[in-house]
Chain A
Amino acid sequence: MSYGTNGNRFAIQTFSLSRKFGDLVAVDGIDLSIKEGELFSLLGPNGAGKTTAIKMLCCLLRPSSGTATVMGRDIHEDPMAVKQIIDVSPQETAIAEYLNAWENLSLIGGIRGLAKEEVKKRSEELLEMVGLAKRAKEQVRKFSGGMKRRLSIAMALVSDPQVLFLDEPTLGLDPQSRRGIWEHIAELKGKKTIVLTTHYLEEADALADRIAIIDEGKIVALGTPQELKDSISDMQVMVVKAKNLPPDVIEGLKEIYPEVKTTDDGIEIGAKELSFYEIVDYLRPRGVAIQSTSLKQPTLDDVFLHLTGKELRE
């Protein structure tokens, strides 16, 4: 086990961890140190390399180069020891459809070597925690998407792992179900080391102690949500709600301002110095009907745009 400069123990350390698929570099030499008990988020768009990184840390993918340790065990040299102390809730709802919720938990507890009594006790607690206690005896193929996700997370917790990997735990869920799962994850904060991958910036912002922004396999920024936002604190963001915004006007703005992002009802313009009059004088003669303008605090989406030139949802 390694220690940080302030005495914190590192649960996970990666050393130039890389993975290629043919010519495609999915993960490109990432170096991370995740503290024990930390909820650490890998935030990035689809295809950024988040799941590939998780799969390597779970010993499901062999790194092309570099390595990593999980609680001091090397993923390359001692994968069985790593598997003893981790569990994962994969991106897809990886559950046995013809089993009921109770049996799914028993399956995972059993293959991880837990005694029957312990599995029973843990399952009761977890089913209660994720709100499925009353549906425990139903075959899970009848469950909604949100219920399956909640069960998937419970399955990852049944063995009480030291390190928990949650790969896009709320992918494709409605906002209400997503918030429900956030509450369950928030309950685990500080109790175990959690690595959460997501492309929902609100999720990382709400849950993570620290965030690594990953793009094209590389870590482009690392810090607490506030640190990341502060890193562009000298940036002003103007929200312009407007009608009739033709593409050539947006392209014209992009030539003037470093960051221009389209939204459902207008645009957001980011720059170190913004002049309300300049923007209005640019838009009005081009037939744009401005409804309102306002300034806002930078978000993680703005941080991502600033660092990569791309929107997180692209």
Chain B
Amino acid sequence: MKFAELAIRNFKEMLRDPMHMGLEIGIPAGFLAIFWALGRSMGGESFFTTTMLVPGIAVFGFAFLLMFSAMTLSRDRESALLSRLLTAPLKPRDFILSYSLPYIPMVVLQIAVCFGIGALLGLEMPGNAGLAFLVLLVMGICSVELGMILGLLFNVNQASAVGSVIITLVALLGGIWIDIEAIGGVFYGIGNALPFAHAIDAARYAMIGAGFSSIATDFYWVLGYTVVFFALGTFLFRWRMVE
């Protein structure tokens, strides 16, 4: 598998970039602790309980992963490393896999950090942890695939800017700390059309005991986006291979 060598390189580059690693782990851990403390200060039932926060912050962390994966690919394009790699006899699918796969361990690590810190802060999970994990894993992969698209379309600065817009969108319309259904109107429409709120809702319900059939629509919504983003990324790689 020729693409494995490139996937290993991308994984090593990620591990050896201290800024990248620090932010990927620090952001979910820090935000979870801050919002948990806010919730304690506010008292009573709120969005800032660990059950509500853990899936939300995990998806929020994926938005940063999305931006970093986009910037890594953009940087390789700008440095002409990607041009060099594209002269190798690899197919577009090989390229998208070798740039996406290294981020999956990071997705798993982010989920583990969120659940781990959640447990330290008193997270109780009567439901199906495995199902919640699966939903979040698919959402993480979905975010990375969207990052691939941004990385293939934009330069580093643009990818960073568009990534920031997506992070804001996730924060505002993902239903992490605001009930988007209560906001209603066009904001709810946009939030509901995107995969982020579906993933967060499905993971929350799984954590409190809902079965797969109850969250199937949300799960397939996220999975559908993942497949579409992967296909679009593969198409864009094909386009980048021979301009």
With A60-B243, A62-B243, A87-B87: A107-B80 Cβ-Cβ less than 8 Å = no
Q: Which of A1-9, A110-118, A214-222, A232-240 contacts B (4 or more CB under 8 A)?
A: A110-118
**Are A111 and B243 interface neighbours, CB within 8 A?**
no
With A60-B86, A111-B85: A92-B80 Cβ-Cβ less than 8 Å = yes
Complex Cα–Cα for A96 and B16 (A): 12
**Are B241 and A60 interface neighbours, CB within 8 A?**
yes
B40 located at the interface, meaning its Cβ lies under 8 Å from any Cβ of chain A in the complex: no
Contact bitstring A58-88, B, C-beta under 8 A = 1, else 0:
1111100000000000000001100110111
Complex Cα–Cα for A18 and B4 (A): 36
Interface residue count on the B side (C-beta < 8 Å): 24
With A61-B243, A84-B89, A111-B6: A90-B12 Cβ-Cβ less than 8 Å = no
Tell me the chain B residues, 188-243 only, with Cβ under 8 Å from chain A: 241-243
Complex Cα–Cα for A108 and B4 (A): 12
- Which residues in A have some Cβ–Cβ distance to B below 8 Å? 55, 58-62, 79-80, 83-84, 86-99, 103, 106-113, 139, 155
In the complex, what residues of B have CB within 8 A of residue A112's CB? Answer: 2, 88-89
In the complex, what residues of A have CB within 8 A of residue B89's CB? Answer: 80, 83-84, 112-113
In the complex, what residues of A have CB within 8 A of residue B242's CB? Answer: 59-62, 79
**Are B2 and A111 interface neighbours, CB within 8 A?**
yes
Which A-B residue pairs are the 4 nearest by beta carbons?
A110-B5, A92-B80, A94-B80, A94-B84
Complex Cα–Cα for A99 and B79 (A): 14
29 contacts between A and B (CB under 8 A): A58-B87, A60-B241, A60-B243, A62-B242, A79-B242, A83-B89, A87-B87, A88-B83, A90-B80, A90-B83, A91-B80, A92-B80, A94-B80, A95-B79, A95-B81, A96-B13, A98-B16, A103-B9, A103-B12, A107-B5, A107-B6, A108-B84, A110-B2, A110-B4, A110-B5, A111-B88, A112-B2, A113-B89, A139-B16
**Are B87 and A59 interface neighbours, CB within 8 A?**
yes
Q: Which residue of A lies closest to B241 (CB)?
A: A60
Q: How far is the CB of B181 from chain A (nearest CB, A)?
A: 44
**Are A111 and B5 interface neighbours, CB within 8 A?**
yes
In the complex, what residues of A have CB within 8 A of residue B133's CB? Answer: none
**Are B13 and A98 interface neighbours, CB within 8 A?**
yes
Complex Cα–Cα for A79 and B241 (A): 11
Complex Cα–Cα for A223 and B90 (A): 36
B3 located at the interface, meaning its Cβ lies under 8 Å from any Cβ of chain A in the complex: yes
- Which residues in B have some Cβ–Cβ distance to A below 8 Å? 2-6, 9, 12-13, 16-17, 79-81, 83-90, 241-243
Q: Which residue of B lies closest to A55 (CB)?
A: B83
Complex Cα–Cα for A86 and B89 (A): 10
In the complex, what residues of A have CB within 8 A of residue B85's CB? Answer: 111
In the complex, what residues of B have CB within 8 A of residue A55's CB? Answer: 83
Q: Which of A58, A103, A111, A113 has the most CB of B within 10 A?
A: A111
In the complex, what residues of A have CB within 8 A of residue B90's CB? Answer: 111
In the complex, what residues of A have CB within 8 A of residue B86's CB? Answer: 60
Q: Which residue of A lies closest to B84 (CB)?
A: A94
| Other contacts beyond A103-B12, A110-B2, A110-B5: 7, CB < 8 A | A58-B87, A94-B79, A95-B81, A106-B5, A107-B6, A108-B88, A139-B16
**Are A86 and B87 interface neighbours, CB within 8 A?**
yes
Q: How far is the CB of A92 from chain B (nearest CB, A)?
A: 4
Q: How far is the CB of A81 from chain B (nearest CB, A)?
A: 8
Q: Contacting A94 at CB < 8 Å: which of B4, B12, B81, B243?
A: B81
Q: Which of B3, B17, B87 has the most CB of A within 10 A?
A: B87
Complex Cα–Cα for A94 and B88 (A): 14
Complex Cα–Cα for A61 and B81 (A): 16
Q: Which of A59, A89, A139, A155 has the most CB of B within 10 A?
A: A59
Complex Cα–Cα for A139 and B15 (A): 13
Q: Which residue of B lies closest to A112 (CB)?
A: B88
In the complex, what residues of B have CB within 8 A of residue A109's CB? Answer: 5
